[in-house]
Structures are given as structure tokens and as C-alpha cells.
Structure 1
Amino acid sequence: MSPLRRFYRQLLLPHPGWVLVLFALIMGGMSLQIDRFELDASAESLVLENDQALAQYRQVNQRFSTSDDFLIVTYTPDETLFSEAELSRLASLRDELGGIEAVGSTTSILSVPLLHSPELTLDTTDTAIKTLDEDPVPPQTARQALLSNPLYPNLLISEDGQTTAIQVTLPTPPRYFELIEEHQQLRQALDAGDGDPMTAERLDQVERDYQSLTDQLDQRRDRTIAKVRATLDGYRDHAEIHLGGVPMIVADMIRFIQNDLSTFGLGVLAFLLLTLAVIFRQWRWVVVPLLCCSFTVWLMIGYLGWVQWPVTVISSNFVALLLIMTLSLTIHLMVRYREYQHDEPDAEPQSTLVNTLAAMIKPCAYMAITTIVAFGSLTVSGIRPVIDFGWMMTLGLAVAFIMAFIIFPVLLRLLPPPVDQRVRAGGTPLTHHFASVTDRRGGLVLLVAVTLAVVSAMGISRLTVENSFVDYFKSSTEIHQGMVTIDNRLGGTTPLDVVITDKPAPDTGGDPFASDCDPFLEDCGDDADHRDTWYTYQKMERLESVHDYLDGLPETGKVLSIISTLDVLAEINQGEPLDALELAFVPAAVPDNLKDTLLTPYISEVHDQARFTIRLRDTAPGLNRDQLLEQIRDHLTGELGFAPERVTLTGMTVMYNNMLQSLFDSQIKTIGVVFAAIAIMFLILFRSWKLALIGILPNMLAAASVLGLMGWMGVPLDLMTITVAAITVGIAVDDTIHYIHRFREEFRKDRSYHGAMYRAHDSIGRAMFYTSLTIIVGFSILVLSNFLPTIYFGLFTGFAMLMALLGALTLLPRLILLIRPLGPSVD
């Protein structure tokens, strides 16, 4: 008796009750932390691993006292905006929003200074400024003042004066940034080998404090956004109102994940229940596999809660995938068990069960390993959510295999199913017809495969990675509607920062009068760069050339910089640009209560940096982020002459683009790793390079077909669809392993290739059909998501699995018949 049979006959199956008690204890332990299961849709969860752009993004926000932690409420009244009634209603809405507990401040057309009501001068800016809030300014006068101000159009008010915005600030406590900075310092010390046990202990404490603070901030954000939405609902009868902003997008993304987890989990379970009932028509064949599927997901969620490993937008699919993959394993066992029942109807159930497990553990083990390799290959992508997804599925598949070969047989031992008379009655399965087509139309099968390969290759050459973030969401979602409104009426959605660093002053030997030229009073050429301030005529002239260039790009919406502030001051100065002397006194001329609006966001004298804040129009036709960023960098360093090290591009646009541009590289890496690993395992499993090659080809065709279809349809690669090809190969190769393994068994009976093919199609082919059908329809559940990449992921993966099934039932046997890798036959 083999060790495996001895394990099942003497240890596991005789004591099913004790095994389930032990398993229940494990399940109970995992359940203790299931409430710590977390969801994450933050910017940090959507960046490349170790992407320096994230550190630059945080650094720029701190230096210039800016943040993306604000909500945008767009307000388009049914009547004209600039009337006493509408302005009063807008003020009421603003006040209610400002009264919400976590809101730090609000900014709107009601509180910003008006420049022409009355006309101001530089000498009266701190005493004569009027606002709609504080002063009785006629509505039409206010309208003209707002639209003629360089700052406000396409920012707080649309160019037609009918749509306005309220910015609702949600301040982040300084402790958050302190923890991030300390974490970076401690991590760098440990990576450099300069740390000690105390450093590592402190790092653990900082990580715990950061996680705790993040959880508190997330809960506060969700409560705040719920209150904001409730407030807005009270004003929708009189205006078209949309909510936008990074915090709202993050909150809604998490809500989408929660809905996807519940919808996909319950939807897949319901579908599996129906599928099992229709196919097997015995309650034991429904209850036992569903319990195994549920236990797998329960253990994984509990484990993720224990280690506080959050689920992102990408890895939210792991619930549906684990359910489907666990069911795939159990279906193969169920079909094989029923075959043994058919062959030996009078055998003891335990004997039938042991024979089933002994026959299936080897192909199922290789099946699990290849699928683990497919998901594990995602860990080389360099994209954090994709990496997390790969590790989660790798661990989950290991748990699914344990469920299939430990818990499944124990449950079946307690609930032995009777012989299904329909199985004993025989019949011709649908898969038998695929064998007939392969046998009689073998040339046509090869021709179709070659044609499909060529067409797929042409489609792959058309693949792109450039896509619009707004198109990730259905048009019915508030995210989509809000982004479109902001994009079209209020100056764009996606933020981009361009930071220019001043070059250091040359060494003058300590003589402050080394130059006879005073840049405050005259044009000193490059000598102007020697003064330790940005407020010189020559420096501002160069910054103006940058501003004008950025503002002139068709992809950019609102562009703000110190030049915008100077334009405002020029308006105040009776339309005359500031001269060199007036420019030098700008910091003193701007009132203290306006410096945080007009100066601090754009100039950091301490760090010798000037900042241009840009919002890109995400709906701009032909938007190509990578090309645009390269164009901006080339122009600033080439045409405008800034040294490359003095130009920094950062912000959400840069981080998102870095992720997009890594997709092609990641796709090549993941596919290459998958095929290399599978080829090695095929050689080990089948001990034949011919069988290894035959097994690889149908799977390559399935992966190529789905990528080719995406190319022909113009669907770009994104965070979700990048995983389709690798996952397809990993799952589709399961059919290849099972089919070749069974074909070899059948071939040994009479050394007939054609007979082995028909028998394999009638047996393992049936299990392949059931599992593939389950996977295809299971993935179709993903179309219920509000996240379009998830929908594409479900549809394209389902299509790929269909191609893989057709390849396994036609091309694979045709190649076996053609090459005859098992030696001579009696055919």
C-alpha cells in the first residue's frame, strides 16, 4: 500500500469527526480577527513598488502647504447663479458644509476677494478688499469681478458664469506626515545596515501607530463624506450638484470594493449552487463543494485580518477567484468519483474515495502549482496592487488545494453519495462531439489555429496602455459625472505639479557687492540668479515663459503659479505689470490673510523652489500622459534652458503614468515567467519534450487570443486587464494537465491514439467542460461591478477560458494525433 493510500485509509478517513473538530478550531481562530479585514483604495495602493514619485509628491505638498485632501462640490443652479436668491442658497449650502465636524474650511466665490468692487491699488489691498460674504456687492458686479480675475475662472467658476465650485478642505493632522517621515528614516537606516534592534522595534511601533491613525482618518473621512452627501441632497431640487475630489474617489472606490466583494461572493455562490444542482442533481454534490469553497474564502479573509493585509481594487476579485478555483478542484474529484462508482457500483464508499484521491492528487497538484505560478508571476510586475493580488491568490490556491484533499474527502466520508443511476446509464457526452470533429476535421482545426494565431498577433501589436481615468467608471456613477463636470466646466481633474529649483548662487568670496548690478532696479542678465530670492525681474520672466507654455498646451486646463498672482496684482495696479522694485516688495504687499492663497502654494524661498500646479483634462481627445510629460520636460530643459536636475514633475498624474508605462514591461515579464515555469513543470511531469511542447501551444494561443481581442477592440491595458493573460495561462493549463494525464492512462490500455482520445473526451473532457463552464459564467458575475476594468477583466477572462477549453478539446488532441509523442500505436 502506498504512503498516500495509507494516510487516507489509516489516519484521515477513519477519524472524520476529529479532523473536522481540529479544522473548526482553526476556523474559529481565524474568525477572531475577521473584523480587522480592511479595504484600501488610497493613492499608496495604486503606485509602483518603491516609486520615488510618491515621496516627491508628499514632499512638494508639505513644502508648499498644499494637499489633495479636499472635496469639490460643483453647483449649477436651475436659475441664474448671480441672483440674490441663488447666492443666498449657495451661502446656506456653504455654511452647512462648513459646519460639518471634520471640515477644516471652505472656499467659494462668496469668500474670495473681489478686485474691482471697488477698484483697488497695491496700497489699499489690505484694507479695501470686498467679498460677497462681507460686503453688499451687486451680483452682476461680483460676476464681472470674478470672471475678470486671472485666478477664479475654470477654478471656482466656469467661464460662462453658471457653474461654481465649493472647495471643502479635510485637513490631515501633522502627526500623519510625521509618522511617514519617521518611517522612511527608520527604513533607510535598516536598509543601509545602520540600524540596531531598537531601530527595528521603533519601526514596528511606527507602523502600528501609522495603521491606527490611518484607520481613524478613514473612518472620519467616510463619516464626513456621508454627511456632505446628506447635506447636498437637501439642495438638489434647485440645482445640478456633483461631488468630486480625491477623498470622495477613495471612499467610493472602497464602497465599490465592498459591493464587489459581497456581490461577487454571493453571486458566485448562488451561481455555483445552481450549476451543481443542474449538473449533478444530488444534494450532497451541492453541499460538500459549497462548504469547501466557503471554508477557503473564510480562512483567507481571516488570515488577511490577522496580518492586517488590506484588499485593494485589484485584489478584491480574490473572493470570486478562490470560489471558482476551489470548485474547479472539487468538480474534478466529483467527476472521477462518479466514474469509479460507474465502474465498481458495489465497492465500499471509502474504497471508491481513496481510489479517487490517489488517481487525482498528482494531476491536481500540478494543476494547483501551475496556477500558483501564474498568479505568483504577478509579483514581478512592480505594481503594488498587482503584486498583492499575486501573493494573495498564491496563498489562497494553496488553501484551496488543502480543502480539496483534506476537507472534501472528510465531508464525503460523513456524507457518502449514492450511485447516480444516470451515470450508470451511460450516454454520449457533449465533449464526444469535439473528439469527432478533431478526428474527422483535423486539418481544419490546425488551419483555424494558425489563422487565429496570426490575427491575434496583429491585434497584440495594436495594444496600448493609455486610458482615461474617468472611463474607469460607469456613466451612472457620481465619480464619473463629477469628474466630467469638473473636467469640462472647472478646469480639469487630474493634478500635475511642475517644480523648478533655483540654481545655487556662485561663490563670491563672501563679498555681497561682487556684482555692480542691482536686479531689483535693472536688467542684470544671469546675474539676477545670484540673488537669494525669486522676486527678481529676470527670474519671474523665466517663470512666466514656463507658465505661458504650460497654459498653452491643449491637454491642460487650469494652470496656477506665482505668475497668476502677479497677474492679479497687475490688475490691482491699474492693469500695469509690476516693475522690478514693486516686484521685490510683493511678499510685503500681499496681505497676511491672502499669502496662503497667493504666495505660499507657488513659491518656497526656504527650498529655492517655484511650483506650477496644473490640472489636466482627462476627457481631452488623444490624451497621452507619457508623451505629454516627456514633451513638457523636453521643452523646459531644451527650449527654456533649465538644467534637467532643476525640473521635477510630480503629482497623481506622474504616479499614474509610471504605473501605466510599466504595464507593457510587466506583461512581458509575467507571461515569460509563466511559460518558462510551465514548460519546466511539463518536462518534469510528462518527461517528454514533445508532450511539453504540445501542452504549451494551446495555452499560448488562448493567451494570445485574449490580448489580440483587446488590441482589435481598442481596450487598453490597465491595472485589471494586465493580469488576464497570465491568469488565463495558469488556469487554462489545468485542462491541459488533466487531459494529457488521462490520455496517457487511456493509451496504455490498447495503444490506440484515436481510442484514447475518444475515451479521454468522454471522461476527463466532461470534467473539463463542467469546470470551464463554471469559470466562464462565474467570471461573468464581474459585469455587475461599477468599476469598468473589473468588468473587462471578467469578460476577457471568460473569453480566454472559452478559447482555452476549445483548444484543449480540439487543438491539443489534434497535435497529439499528429506528433504521436507516446510512441507507436496500433492505429
Structure 2
Amino acid sequence: MFRLLSDFILRFRVYVLLGMGLIVLANAPFLQGLRFDFTPQQLFAGTQDVLEQREKFAAEFGREDNLVTIIVEGDSLFEPKTLEWIRDFTVSLREFEEVKNAQSLPTMEIPRSGAEAGLLTTVPIVLESGEVEPSAAAALKELAANEPLLNKRVISPDLETTVVLVWLQDDLQDVKDLRAAILKIEAKLAESGVPSELRTRVSGIPYLRQEIVENLKTQQLTFVPATGLAYLLILFFMFRRFSGVVLPLGVVAITMVLVTGMMVFTDSPINIINNILPSLVFIIGVSDSIHMIARDGEENEAGADRASSVKAMIRHTGLACLLTSTTTAVGFFSLLAADTEILKNFGWQAGASVLLAYLVTLLFLPAALVKMRPVQRLNTQKPDYQPLIEKFMGVLGEKVVAHPWRFFVSGLVITAIAAMAAFQVEIDTILLEVYEPGHPTYNTLKMSEEKLGGILPIEISLDSSEPGAFKNPENYKKLAELQTFSKQFDVVLSTQSLVDYHQAARAALLADPAQRGTMPESRDEIEQLHLLLAGAPDSRSGASQFVSTDFSHVRLLLRVADDGAKAQLALGNELKEKLGELFPPGHDVSWVLTGDAYVASISLDSFIRDLFGSLLLAMVIIFGMMTVAFRSIRLGLISVLPNATPLILTLGYMGVRGIDLNTTTIITFSIGLGLAVDDTIHFLARYQEERDAGRDASESIKRAYMGAGRAIMLTSVMLLIGLGVLLMSDFVPTRMFGTLTGITIAGAILGDLIILPPLLYLVDSWRDRRTNALPGTV
């Protein structure tokens, strides 16, 4: 087939190139239609029941995950002018249509003792407009220092840090909409005339989400071109021929145009998972191109003319590249069996991208290469001279054949050590894992956790079909008991419920702080406490945010530290056990754990396990396909270890460094899967070609090293140097991708050049000896 194809490509090379150019031009207009959607909620789609509960809860009580916080720091927070600025800025934010509500220390309606004994008021101490009187500022300072509803929630214990709370509209979930709203808030902050003695910072979950997404976009636009430039320089240094530089990058560029057109045509945006497609296309396209160009140079050095060497290149590497691309693509297509929609989409997108890269390589590269000077492996002016890589491959081949057990056992020991370290890797996701300690966003969130009770919400929803269920003192006390139970965990920074407001009202009414610990004993008492607060508007800062109007549904809000999904899931299990004890099956009160921190933790944990399981399935399918492709169970089994080595080595590195398996790190394994399969197949194909030519195992190994081994090393060195560009990024996911992909490439070198060749030699030389020992065998 490839013989006929080579004749066709060279005979109609002009039409092939013209057709390729027309296809690229046809796809070019689609480039501007490429969409970006890095909304993290896409990762949650595999836990539909959890999402439905989250949406149902948000419909009644609103979204705590849509809370933007403006942190204000200074030692003059309770100066009248400062309080005036905070109040006026807060009120001005309520004018934005994107803002559902805004509250701050001067505007909150907190229960406190009235002007006379036995009276209670919730009217803010600071008036809605006008100058703030020194007496009002002093009274607010005293309330802030002693009121649990405020302290370490809205004001820090040292009274030097406060927060303006801004709830965005519940329907603002798309990152673009969140960013637009936050930019308006920041613009308003800039023009509000912040007093010079104050320091302000914007934070909150919406702010973090949009900032992470903007960083991802910036990294793509900055480091993809930078890496491409690095590869161009490396290719020039390696080949020093126009064909060796332009053609591999041309293959990648054409493929990327086609992939972009495919994404636009199918209305598929670039998202938080498939944003590695450019890297995948780069690695697969450049790798196959180098294998083909290197084989062309080899045929040319053997004395073939340009047409003959290009035809030989297609015949010998076309099949190997087809096997690498098909097996890798099928591996990615196996992700269609995943539970998460975003994974299914990534599966077909990655598989299609790999196949497009193969088609472009097979058609474009030979058609262009035949009229170009081939790359040179040897110096024709100095016949005895060998470049460093050729010399290294020759020596390595001789050593492996001479000491196969030494190399095989050494590679096996390294892999075994990495496998043991891999068991230390844990599945965990931390929101701040994308930032280095010391980054302003990192410092702001940590400060918020330390002084203001944190921003990550876990919600407990308690619901009953019976109106007035939580006017029942028994259920009310169980809510209070659950809140007290929650406070014992280190990960819980603050809690808030209806009980807090009722206790504040009781203490204020009786002018006795000790009354906060007294539980109401009757429905009437609960109703009276709530009626005392009924004069306050139904706002996000009042008691009404924690209970439905008919008292059948209440919520308990926990704010937790960013200690990772593992810690939050452990907390969830403890809470479930306590909830089962307080409200067992058959009780008229049902319960649900929700809130962004919990939903994100359970969903991301499920997503990572789903992806990891899908990649393992992909590996099994790939090994099966390799067995069929080489028509040899022996080669299929032999390929398992070198294919697994890069992934094992990467996991081992993560275990030694204490790096968790999360959404940032696990996606690297998709690249590793494609790279490992590519190198293994190329080496096996070249080895099998030499065996089919009648050479023994020893000579076949040596020649495979000089052919496929050289191309593998060239590709690996180029990729490693190119990935070094990513290490200059100040964005942790970009650096981590570069580091882990580099470790994966090093693992591929270990698997395909240190473990695979001696294993092939040991198995086949034993088979040769056994065959020769049979009676009648010469």
C-alpha cells in the first residue's frame, strides 16, 4: 500500500501541495471563531446528582460561591472618614446590575440593645448618608470587637482588616461574565477615592476563577509561540538544512490550522482540559516528522537519489507512523467511555488531532521534501567523523548487545524504585495550587482565612415537608448541635446559621452576653426571637438568608480552609455521619451536603479518578492494538514495560516531590501516553524491519539504534530543550506541565532505549538459539 502511495505522492506532488494549501486557506477564516471557555464547572458534569442538589439549593438561598470580597486594611478603620468611604463605596456597588447585594461593616443590620432596657434594634449604627459622628464610629468599633456575628467574619480580631461583601447575581456563572463584573467593581474601587492610609485587595471565588482563566489564556498566547521559536532554533542546530527546520514546523502549523477549523466547525471551545492540544500536536507532529526526515537522510547516504530515498522513507516509516498515530488515537477515543462530558470531548478531539497530524505528515512532508536537500547524518567531507548522537547510539547499541542483562536489570530497578515512590502520590486538589507562596493572590486568600473566616463555602441543607419544622425546639437544638459539632474541625474556619442571629437577639434584648448559650424551649420562643429580627429587610446580611419563610428549610454555612479536596471530603464524611445520627432515615428532616467547596472537591476527585481510569483503559487497548499490528503476542507483551515506564517514572517523581495527582498534573499523562507509544512503535518497527531482512537479533538491535534510536533521541532532546522554556513561567501549572512532561520524555528514553532493546535481544536471541538447536536446523 505504501509503495503505491509513495508513487502517487511524488507523481502528483504539486497537486498534493496545492490541495493542502487550499484546505488550509479554507480553514483560515475559522481561526477567529475559536472560543475559549475555561469555566471550572465543566469538570463537575460527572456528578449530576450533586450538581442538581447544588442548583436547587442555590435557587432558594443564593450562591455563596458568587461572593466577591474587597479586603480593606489599615489601623484607622474606625475613623469617621474611613467609615464614610466604606459605606459610600458599598452603596455605590449596589447600583450595578451584576450585583445582587453589597454589605459592609457600616451597612450591616446586626441585633443589638436598643436605647432603653428591654428593647432591641437592627438599624445600622452608621446612618445611610451624611457624615459619620465620632460617637457612632466608637459605638460601631465596640460592637465589632464584641459581636460574634462580625468578629472574624467581617472584621479581624485586631480590628485592622475588614471586608466589603459583594454578592453577584446568581445567574453569573460564565467566566467572561464574572470577569466583566469584577472589572467594573475594580474600576469603581479605583475611582472611589480610597483613603491614602488604607490598602485594598479584591478576592473571592469569582475573582480567583477569572484570574486563573486569564493566566491560562496568557500562558497559551505567550509560551506556545515561545516554545515554537525554541523548537525552530533547535531544529536548525540539529539539521542545519532548510528541510529539517521548516518541514516539521510546517506539519505542526498546518495541523493546528486544521484542528482549529475542526474545533470551530463543531462549536467546541478551548477549555481547561483540551488546552493541551497544541502541545500534543507539536509533540506528535514533530516526532513523526523527525523520524521520516531522518530516514530520508539515511537512504540518501546509502546512495539513493532524491525520489528513491523519499519513496523508501514513505515505505519504511509510513507504516510505523500509521501504527503510532492509530494506536494513540484509539487510546484517546477510548475516553469516550468516561463519565464526564468534558473528558469525552477531549477524547475525540485529541484522537482526531493525532490522525490529522499523521495525514499532514504523510502527504505534505514527502511532497515538499523531494525537491529539497536532505538532512545529513554524516560529514561527507570527513568520512570518519560521526556526530555526537550517532556516536552515542553506536556505542549504546554495542554495549546493550554485549551486556543485555546489565542494561535490562538496571532499567528495571529504576522503574521499580519509581513504582514504589508512585504509591506515595495522593489524589488531591487545592485551589491555590496554581500560585506560589508569596503571590499576591495567594497571600490575600491566606490572610482572609487567618483573619476573616475564609471564602470557601460548604453548605448543609436541612429540609422538611412540614411547614414550621424548625420552629420545633427539638429540630432547632439539633441544628445548634450540628453547628457546634462542625466547629471542632481544624479545616472549618467559621460557621453561621439562623441560631447565631437568634442568640444575638436574645443577648441584646436581655443585655446579657451569657444568654447566647441559652436554647429556646418552645415554638413561641423561637417565633418571638425571629419576630424581633423581622424588621430587618430580607437581605444577604440578615437572619432570613438562613431560613425559608415557612421555616421548613434551613441552612448551615461553613467556611473552610483551602486544605485540599481530600480534607474537605474527610470533613464531609464526618458531617454525614453526624447528620445520620441527628436525622436518621425516616426522620421528617432530610439533609444534603452542598456548597462550592464540597461540590468542587467531590466532583474534581471523581473527575481525576475517571480520567486516570480512562487512561489505564487506553493503555490496555493500545497494547492490544500493538499485538495485532505486529501480528505478534511476543512483541505486544514486550511493549508493555517500555510503554508503562514513562508514566511510572513520572508518578515516582511526583511521589518523591510530594506532588499531588490533580487536574494540573494528571493531564500530563495524556501527553505521556502518546509519546511513549510513538517511540516504542518506531523502535519495534525498525527492529522488525531488520529482522525481516534476515539479520540476527544482535545486528537488528544495532541498526535499530542507529535508525529509530537516533530519531527518538533527537526528538527527545529537542522536546526537552523546548519544554525548558515553560520553566521560566511564573504560573505554577505551566511550569508543572513543563517539568512533568520533561520527566515523561526522560522516562520514554529509559523505556525505549535502555529497557526495550535488551529485552528484545534477550527474548529473540534465546528463540534463535532454540530454533537453531532443533534437529534438522542448520
What are the residue-to-residue correspondences of 1:89-168 with 2, within 5 Å? 89-91=85-87, 93-94=89-90, 97=93, 102-113=98-109, 115-116=111-112, 119=115, 125=121, 129-131=124-126, 133-134=128-129, 136=133, 137-168=135-166
Match of 1:42 in 2: 39
Distance 2:58 2:117 in 1: 32
Cα offsets for 1:492-546 (capped at 9, x unmatched) = 23211111122x45xxxxxxxxxxxxxxxxxxxxxxxxx6442233332221111
**Residues 1:586 and 1:138: Cα distance change in structure 2 (over 3 Å):** closer
Cα offsets for 1:37-84 (capped at 9, x unmatched) = 22223242231425321221111111123443231111112x332223
1:628 to 571, 576, 595: 571
Distance 1:17 1:230 in 2: 60
State the shift of 1:742 in Å. Answer: 0.9
Unpaired stretches in structure 1, ≥5 consecutive residues: 178-213, 506-530
Establish whether residue 441 from structure 1 lines up as the match of residue 441 from structure 2: no
TM-score normalised by structure 2 residue count: 0.89
What are the residue-to-residue correspondences of 1:531-546 with 2, within 5 Å? 532-546=468-482
Distance 1:119 1:787 in 2: 55
Structure 1 SS opposite 2:156: coil
**1:624 maps to amino acid:** A
Identity value in percent: 20
Cα offsets for 1:741-778 (capped at 9, x unmatched) = 11122234453222222221112111010112233333
Match of 2:317 in 1: 360
**1:167 maps to amino acid:** L
What are the residue-to-residue correspondences of 1:314-463 with 2, within 5 Å? 314-345=273-304, 347=305, 349-413=306-370, 415-417=371-373, 420=376, 422=378, 424=380, 425=383, 427=386, 428-463=390-425
Match of 1:524 in 2: none
Cα offsets for 1:444-465 (capped at 9, x unmatched) = 2233233224323322322211
What are the residue-to-residue correspondences of 1:795-810 with 2, within 5 Å? 795-810=739-754
**Residues 1:446 and 1:288: Cα distance change in structure 2 (over 3 Å):** closer
**Residues 1:36 and 1:418: Cα distance change in structure 2 (over 3 Å):** closer
Cα offsets for 1:610-665 (capped at 9, x unmatched) = 11111101149x97122111011001212665769812001222222223433674
Cα offsets for 1:384-432 (capped at 9, x unmatched) = 544443332212111111110122223334x522564845446243222
Structure 1 SS opposite 2:158: coil
Establish whether residue 220 from structure 1 lines up as the match of residue 180 from structure 2: yes
Match of 1:182 in 2: none
**Residues 1:120 and 1:534: Cα distance change in structure 2 (over 3 Å):** farther
Asked if structure 2 preserves the Cα contact closer than 8 Å seen for 1:132 and 1:142, the reply is no
Match of 2:712 in 1: 768
Establish whether residue 697 from structure 1 lines up as the match of residue 641 from structure 2: yes
Establish whether residue 65 from structure 1 lines up as the match of residue 62 from structure 2: yes
2:218 to 253, 259, 276: 259
Structure 1 SS opposite 2:151: coil
State the shift of 1:165 in Å. Answer: 0.6
Establish whether residue 52 from structure 1 lines up as the match of residue 49 from structure 2: yes
Structure 1 SS opposite 2:35: coil
State the shift of 1:551 in Å. Answer: 2.5
The alignment covers a number of residue pairs equal to 753
Asked if structure 2 preserves the Cα contact closer than 8 Å seen for 1:719 and 1:789, the reply is no
**1:283 maps to amino acid:** F
Structure 2 SS opposite 1:715: coil
State the shift of 1:562 in Å. Answer: 0.7
Match of 2:497 in 1: 561
**2:568 maps to amino acid:** R
Asked if structure 1 preserves the Cα contact closer than 8 Å seen for 2:647 and 2:672, the reply is yes
State the shift of 1:730 in Å. Answer: 3.0
Asked if structure 1 preserves the Cα contact closer than 8 Å seen for 2:73 and 2:198, the reply is yes
Distance 2:96 2:491 in 1: 36
**Residues 1:87 and 1:462: Cα distance change in structure 2 (over 3 Å):** same
Structure 1 SS opposite 2:76: coil
Higher mean alpha-carbon deviation, 216-225 vs 241-250, is at 216-225
Higher mean alpha-carbon deviation, 601-610 vs 143-152, is at 601-610
**1:546 maps to amino acid:** L
Distance 2:461 2:140 in 1: 33
Asked if structure 1 preserves the Cα contact closer than 8 Å seen for 2:612 and 2:666, the reply is no
Distance 2:760 2:346 in 1: 35
State the shift of 1:89 in Å. Answer: 4.6
**Residues 1:648 and 1:110: Cα distance change in structure 2 (over 3 Å):** same
Match of 2:205 in 1: 246
Higher mean alpha-carbon deviation, 436-445 vs 630-639, is at 436-445
Match of 1:6 in 2: 4
State the shift of 1:267 in Å. Answer: 1.8
Asked if structure 2 preserves the Cα contact closer than 8 Å seen for 1:105 and 1:169, the reply is yes
Match of 1:517 in 2: none
Asked if structure 2 preserves the Cα contact closer than 8 Å seen for 1:495 and 1:616, the reply is yes
Distance 2:426 2:401 in 1: 40
**1:319 maps to amino acid:** P
Establish whether residue 731 from structure 1 lines up as the match of residue 678 from structure 2: no
2:167 to 166, 169, 173: 169
Distance 1:628 1:749 in 2: 64
Distance 2:668 2:225 in 1: 23
**1:742 maps to amino acid:** R
Match of 1:493 in 2: 455
Establish whether residue 615 from structure 1 lines up as the match of residue 594 from structure 2: no
Higher mean alpha-carbon deviation, 805-814 vs 643-652, is at 643-652
Match of 1:824 in 2: 768
Match of 2:776 in 1: none
Distance 2:572 2:331 in 1: 34
Structure 2 SS opposite 1:613: strand
Cα offsets for 1:321-357 (capped at 9, x unmatched) = 2122211111111111111111125x1x333322211
Please, what is the CA RMSD of the aligned residues? 3.1
Structure 2 SS opposite 1:151: coil
State the shift of 1:717 in Å. Answer: 0.7
State the shift of 1:108 in Å. Answer: 0.9
Structure 1 SS opposite 2:544: coil
Unpaired stretches in structure 2, ≥5 consecutive residues: 774-778
**1:37 maps to amino acid:** L
State the shift of 1:806 in Å. Answer: 2.1
Establish whether residue 30 from structure 1 lines up as the match of residue 64 from structure 2: no
**Residues 1:643 and 1:801: Cα distance change in structure 2 (over 3 Å):** farther
Asked if structure 2 preserves the Cα contact closer than 8 Å seen for 1:64 and 1:602, the reply is yes
1:268 to 188, 211, 227: 227
Higher mean alpha-carbon deviation, 131-140 vs 680-689, is at 131-140
**1:217 maps to amino acid:** D
Asked if structure 1 preserves the Cα contact closer than 8 Å seen for 2:64 and 2:595, the reply is no
Structure 1 SS opposite 2:538: helix
**Residues 1:419 and 1:630: Cα distance change in structure 2 (over 3 Å):** closer
State the shift of 1:290 in Å. Answer: 1.5
**Residues 1:769 and 1:237: Cα distance change in structure 2 (over 3 Å):** farther
